[in-house]
Chain A
Amino acid sequence: MKSHNRLKAGGRIDRSKRLSFNFNGKIYYGFEGDTLASAMLANGLNVISRSFKYHRPRGIIGSGVEDPASLVELLDEEASGNNLSTNVKLKEGLSAKSINCWPSVDFDFGAITQYFEKFIPAGFYYKTFKWPTWHLFEPLIRVAAGLANAPKMPPKSGHFESRNAHTDYLIIGAGPAGLLATLIAARSGANVFLVDQNTEAGGSLLSLNLSINKRPAMDWVDGVIKEISAMSNVTHLQDSTAWAYREHNLVVVNEREVENASIIERSWRIRAKKVIIATGAIERSLVFPNNDRPGVMLASAVQTFVSRYAVKPGENLVIFTNNDSVYSYIKDFKRAGINILAIVDSRKTIESDVLDYAADERVIPYSIIKNVNGYKKVNSVVVESFGDNGLEIISCDLLAHSGGWNPAVHLHSQSRGTVSFDEKIAAFIPDQYVQSAINIGACNGNFNLREIFDETKLFMLGQLSASKQMVYEEKLECNKQMYSIEALWSTDLLNEKNKAFFDIQNDVTHHDIQLALREGFSNIEHVKRYTTGGMGFDQGKTGNVNIIGAIADLEGIGLNDVGTTTFRSPFTPISFGSISGVREGAVVLPFRHTPVTKWNLEKGAFMYEAGARWRRPGYFPRDGESFQEAVNRECHAVRTGVGVYDGSPLGKFELKGENVGEFLDLIYTNMMSSLLPGNGRYGLMLTDDGLIFDDGVAFRIDQHRWFISTSSGHSDSVNQHMQKILAFDRPDLDVKITNITNQWNNATVCGPLARKLLQKLGTNIDLGNSSFPFMTFREGKIANIPARVIRVSFTGELSFEINVSPRNMLTLWEKIIKAGAEFDILPVGSEASHVLRVEKGFLSLGHEVDGTVDPYDLGMNWVMSKKKIDFIGKRSVHLRRSSGIVRRELVGLLPTNPDEAIPEGAPLTPKGKKVATEGFTTACVWSVVNNRWVGLALLENGHSRHGEEAYVRLKNKIIKAEITRPVFHDPDGKLLRS
């Protein structure tokens, strides 16, 4: 198709670089410097997408971030979901398609919804989709929601990046105010970040033919850019959107044109001492019937397409306005060859110097657009004059309208700053600041270039010390700009049948606003949620203030009384990828390895996360072996021969000081201070409310040095717990804690043949039971490696925890495996460890210890010291137990059918009835030594119910089980002490 709307000259496009692009399967051409929107307009494409709710044909309305209608889905290399065509930079081979339409944007079956509009008013989904159940509608709504499709595959090449920056000034917007602020700050020597969302700096100067110092304004822009480009203290991010303003002056910026070709997009998290918001203003729509038809555009967009992109969006133009700004465009429109048929101005009186701009044009004051005719393209408008109540139909193919200008207060609002309504410009302007920021220029409600420069200079020089105020002494002379307005929030629509849109992106009409008010949703926050006006990617850029104004009119109150909603981030749609940066694939979640992890993987271990981000082997399946067979094999090795597991993730801390014993007595329930060097004790830590927090062991190294070990998953929590106590509760105690979790890895050798294996490995430690008994430790060498060997047991078998430095861990491990071959040693995963501890009735955090139990519940009365005056949780335990409240207590379960497993977590109910539960199954495993399923449960009054029957109530059956002591192997603990 010929680019028949392209002007022969002008614009900031490079006509020597012709680019082809594909839209809806057809090839078109544009130029370097085009956006997808300007290229589509140049090619005469009117209907770009279909609207969200009614599937009405939509064309291009704006020229930048404010466009609420022309979303497209990008395909192939650039694949991404909802993109504003006005923001998509044209590239060779770019491919895009329309959204929300089927089979095509020109003929869309979805448009049938317009015939059912009476049944789908605002809020109908809240009222409709709950009968008989929301889930019935959920799949359909999920398909409809989101408009475009998300890419199914990641980008074929490149990656996203996210980085941090700190600066003195972050200046957002490279329009006249932002550029001047940058120049002054940069000359003072400060660190400056300049961020601008357009592909070129200049802001409004890119589209308006203004002059500065009697030269084209863009010459001044080019001069500033040239100067700051040479300054090392300035970082200039063009084509980059500041899309979120967070606390502590943190602004998030999405950079789309990155210097490294391998980086698709970069996200900047910029923390600035001062944020200078110079984001300009956004033209708002006028609200009149059929104001969404293709060919109805914002006046500033027409100006931009004509001046910046050399595109003529139409031949015969009608302008509709309530303010002065459109009059300055007339000269450019005429130069582009556009016939201006009429200027419909809602104001009764228009200043004569404004009318001078339209000296040769037909101006119809005190009049409005009553309707727009045409479906896929405007073909005429109906003008109603208030003066004589006359109606006039004017044939045209383009309607440019302007409802005035809204300062772009989005970032200010995100920073939690407040806004107030300024009657003079009929718009909300920044009011109170919460963070170190300032708004300058049009976003501060100043629409006059000369005043913008004065204001910016005054503010910026005021920021500098007296000695640096000489940095900018130039005078800037520029055109006079006019701006006066009479607010027109909507035309008279009370009895209007045609749709007039306040929020074009969300298809929110005047009917919807009226309905919300009729149903009592008069608060602006409620109107927003009821109608969806101001939601979505658009965040009400063109429509929000009109909604507020309409509510004010309908309710008879002022706009300040209606108030505003908070503008949400992101300011414009951004890629999820740029938020996550390089955090993707293997590193999307943190993970920790031990030196044996690679060995485990090579041996085919099934790995998973097992607390505190550690990747641990669950089990080591052999070819053709099931999960249960593998676990049984590992359990059998430990119970009858020898196994080894990697216990490195256990939390380990060294404590030093005069008061370590006293401190340990405080945090553990039992007495630790009485331990002699070389000896240790198992203990429980409780929370302040007397519930089990962690279990572990404490060993005394010498008079003032101890080490403790904690569960893997609670290592960090225990560390914080101890540090908090020492910092706030007992700062008088001399205790210094060092985290040695990764200074000591351990290979735990367990099973009846464990001692023989250590002897074979070679050691200078006397391993005899009398010289090295249970719950002691010795330092020496194992396999010629310096080691700290501890006799503890989580499996119930003879066990040696061989602690070595990580640099020696893999060597030790391989030596153990090699030496153990003679004893048929097996590596043991977490699953087998779980079985072995259940057989012994040893507690496990997350199973029996679920944040509701105390030591008595688990039958661990012995661990509650009677000698100590106090320890953390003691009072709470006694208070609770003295209340006589029934407790769930740990018991063993033997299913009546030994081959029947009980699902972990399954509820226990009296006689299996459908009544409140009396407990639940905490674990159930196949016990190799018992040749049957055995389980553990927390059951009401369980300790006194041994021998009774418990009933596990499942959805489709009841499992009977005998209640027993919670131990199924070596009940007296002779083996682990052997």
Chain B
Amino acid sequence: MAYNVKIYPRILNTIFDIKGSISDVRAHLKDHIYSFPTKPNSYISQGDWKVFYVGLNHWILMAPIDDEQELTVSLKPEDAPASVSIVLISDTLTFFHLDGPDAFSIMSIACPLNLNNDAFTEESVTFSEIFGLKGLIFRDGHGFKFAVDQSFGEMVSQYLNLTLAD
């Protein structure tokens, strides 16, 4: 293999798309999510959960897929006030985890974004481009995770295979 990297493809996570003013969102989720990132394009972790701040009045909550049922019950999307939108979109995104010394190299092939440490820190998250597709990118440990529209999962897998080919 040309690169020293381990790739975990097409991982399913619990994902909720959350929109609304921070005060309204906090008011609805206060018992479940006690902290929100305040800096745009950053995220915070709460145990296994992550809250991404990805746009104006727009957050994404990510959690292990096993937590989907519990979160669906506790976040009560259907009970959210009109000013808050909470939509379960777990199946919309498929995740890839790149781990290892050459994860950065693979990302530099896939993505034109400046992912240098000083520009894209451990708390950074953003939508950018992955192999020409819209992708959600963030650092994770020594590597990176990114997500693309689930329907493009097979294509991205093939791209990664080509990238790693001997």
Is there contact, CB below 8 Å, between A592 and B2? no
Nearest A residue to B58, CB-CB = A736
CA distance A807 to B19 in the complex (A): 25
A875 on interface, CB distance cutoff 8 Å: no
A98 on interface, CB distance cutoff 8 Å: no
Nearest B residue to A659, CB-CB = B82
Q: Please, which residues of chain A bring their CB within 8 A of the CB of B115?
A: 166
Q: Please, which residues of chain B bring their CB within 8 A of the CB of A807?
A: 12, 91
Partner of A743, one of B2, B78, B89, B158: B89
Within 8 A of A (CB), among B81-108: 82-85, 87-92, 105, 108
- How many B residues, CB 8 Å from partner? 44
A702 on interface, CB distance cutoff 8 Å: yes
Within 8 A of B (CB), among A682-737: 702-705, 734, 736
Is there contact, CB below 8 Å, between B108 and A165? yes
Most buried by A among B83, B84, B92, B105: B92
- Interface mask (A257-286 → B, CB under 8 Å = 1, otherwise 0): 000101100000101000000000000000
Binds A, one of B34-42, B45-53, B136-144, B145-153: B145-153
Partner of B163, one of A582, A649, A704: A582
B133 on interface, CB distance cutoff 8 Å: yes
Q: Please, which residues of chain A bring their CB within 8 A of the CB of B19?
A: 656, 736, 738
**Contact A743-B133, Cβ < 8 Å, known A656-B82, A658-B83:** no
B91 to nearest A CB, angstroms? Answer: 4
Is there contact, CB below 8 Å, between B88 and A743? yes
Binds B, one of A156-164, A426-434, A544-552, A793-801: A156-164
Is there contact, CB below 8 Å, between A593 and B154? yes
Is there contact, CB below 8 Å, between B90 and A582? no
Is there contact, CB below 8 Å, between B150 and A163? no
Within 8 A of B (CB), among A569-626: 581-587, 590-594, 597, 614
Partner of B112, one of A269, A703, A805: A269
Q: Please, which residues of chain B bring their CB within 8 A of the CB of A736?
A: 19-20, 85
**Contact A166-B119, Cβ < 8 Å, known A161-B109, A658-B82, A740-B92:** yes
Nearest B residue to A658, CB-CB = B82
CA distance A829 to B155 in the complex (A): 22
Is there contact, CB below 8 Å, between A161 and B163? yes
CA distance A583 to B159 in the complex (A): 7
A380 to nearest B CB, angstroms? Answer: 56
Q: Please, which residues of chain A bring their CB within 8 A of the CB of B149?
A: 592, 741-742
B75 to nearest A CB, angstroms? Answer: 14
Q: Please, which residues of chain B bring their CB within 8 A of the CB of A597?
A: 154
Is there contact, CB below 8 Å, between B85 and A593? no
A46 on interface, CB distance cutoff 8 Å: no
B34 to nearest A CB, angstroms? Answer: 23
A409 to nearest B CB, angstroms? Answer: 27
Q: Please, which residues of chain A bring their CB within 8 A of the CB of B78?
A: 702, 705
- Give 26 A-B contacts (CB < 8 Å), ordered by A residue: A159-B165, A162-B109, A164-B108, A164-B111, A164-B113, A191-B116, A262-B165, A262-B166, A269-B112, A582-B109, A582-B162, A585-B162, A592-B151, A593-B151, A593-B153, A594-B151, A657-B82, A658-B82, A704-B82, A734-B83, A738-B17, A739-B92, A740-B87, A743-B87, A743-B90, A806-B150
Q: A162-B109, A165-B108, A734-B83 are in contact. List 14 more A-B contacts (CB 8 A).
A: A269-B112, A583-B159, A587-B155, A587-B162, A592-B152, A592-B155, A648-B151, A656-B19, A705-B78, A736-B19, A738-B89, A739-B92, A740-B92, A743-B90
A residues near B, CB below 8 A? 159, 161-166, 191, 260, 262-263, 269, 271, 581-587, 590-594, 597, 614, 648-649, 654, 656-658, 702-705, 734, 736, 738-743, 805-807
